[in-house]
């Protein structure tokens, strides 16, 4: 049996999974943590908004993967920031958001030591594309989820676009991850009482909008967009939906999301990023 700590290199396994190496874990003041993993794949594979991997919350050994079939051992971890290339090694470094809740799987991940091997499946989720004519991008998040929306920043800055990031809530202590947002991005931390006013101000300015907010915020967001812009089309606003991403292939139906036409769609296959106009009338 191979120990988790016997190898310091990531690798692709014969069963289709990959073994990623823990490079760093950073606790966020707002809750949760950022797990930095060294993956044996290119940074160009696609770590964009909403993409996720399924991490196995158990020993990353061939024997364990062959014999331990305990249900629900995997947890979804979502990309948080653009992957970066390794300067002197193969593979790339990826940041993932690990929720700060009482789920035993997420607690297990947040406690892994540096150099530990974590078994992953993925990436999953539909690739989100910024429209070619977008030059003004509005990003919406709250203090607990803003890391999830950061993968959208580098592509538009590379196109000399402008970005405004509105973060709902209040920050009581300095957040080192917030400080990593590039200087050209205009960041506004908005108390809940002023959120609607600030959002209404910038809605007409944006060419495109992306949000990682609580699900109950989205019906109100759809109404605000229609009130300010007179229409809501599929290309303008995309939102990240929080759902139970368990199997990654749509088989377990744990991730189903209701749509505006009273049907359902599967977040792990068709999302978890959706056009806002498909979810709310």
* CATH number of residue 201's parent domain: 3.40.50
Count of the separate structural domains present in the chain = 2
DSSP string, 132-143: TT--EEEEEEET
Specify the length of the chain in residues: 281
Same domain flag for 110 and 59 = yes
pLDDT of residue 5: 42
Same domain flag for 107 and 151 = no
Tell which of 80, 104, 124 closes a domain. 124
Q: 130 in a domain, yes or no?
A: no
pLDDT of residue 141: 94
Q: How far is CA 114 from the centre of its chain?
A: 22
Helix (H, G, I), strand (E, B) or coil at 63: helix
Q: 221 in a domain, yes or no?
A: yes
Residues of the domain holding 181: 136-279
Low-confidence residues of the chain: pLDDT under 70: 1-7, 65-72, 172-174, 281
pLDDT of residue 184: 94
Same domain flag for 81 and 200 = no
Tell which of 90, 124, 158 closes a domain. 124
pLDDT of residue 180: 82
Question: What does the alpha-carbon distance between residue 4 and residue 18 come to, in Å, rounded to a whole number?
Answer: 13
Same domain flag for 156 and 82 = no
């Amino acid at each position: 049996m191979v120990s988790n700590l016997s190898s310091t290199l990531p690798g692709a396994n014969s069963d289709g999974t990959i073994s990623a190496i823990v490079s760093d874990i950073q606790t966020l003041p707002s809750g949760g943590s950022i797990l930095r993993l060294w993956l044996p794949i290119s940074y160009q594979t696609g770590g964009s908004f909403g993409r996720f991997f399924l991490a196995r919350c158990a020993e990353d050994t061939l024997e364990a993967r062959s014999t331990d079939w305990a249900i629900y051992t995997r947890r979804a971890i979502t990309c948080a920031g653009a992957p970066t290339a390794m300067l002197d090694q193969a593979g790339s470094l990826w940041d993932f958001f690990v929720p700060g809740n009482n789920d035993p799987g997420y607690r297990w991940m947040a406690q892994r030591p540096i150099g530990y091997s974590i078994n992953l499946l993925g990436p999953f989720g539909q690739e989100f594309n910024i429209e070619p004519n977008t030059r003004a991008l509005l990003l919406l998040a709250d203090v607990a989820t803003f890391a999830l929306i950061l993968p959208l920043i580098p592509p538009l800055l590379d196109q000399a676009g402008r970005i405004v990031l509105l973060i709902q809530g209040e920050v009581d202590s300095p957040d080192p991850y917030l400080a990593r947002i590039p200087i050209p991005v205009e960041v506004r931390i908005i108390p809940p009482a002023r959120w609607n006013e600030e959002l209404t101000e910038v809605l007409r300015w944006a060419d495109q909008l992306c949000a990682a907010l609580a699900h109950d915020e989205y019906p109100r967001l759809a109404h605000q967009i229609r009130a300010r812009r007179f229409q809501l089309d599929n290309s303008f606003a995309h939102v990240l939906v929080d759902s139970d991403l368990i199997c990654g292939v749509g088989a377990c139906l744990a991730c189903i999301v209701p749509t505006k036409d009273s049907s359902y769609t599967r977040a792990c296959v068709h999302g978890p990023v959706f056009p806002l106009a498909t979810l709310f009338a």
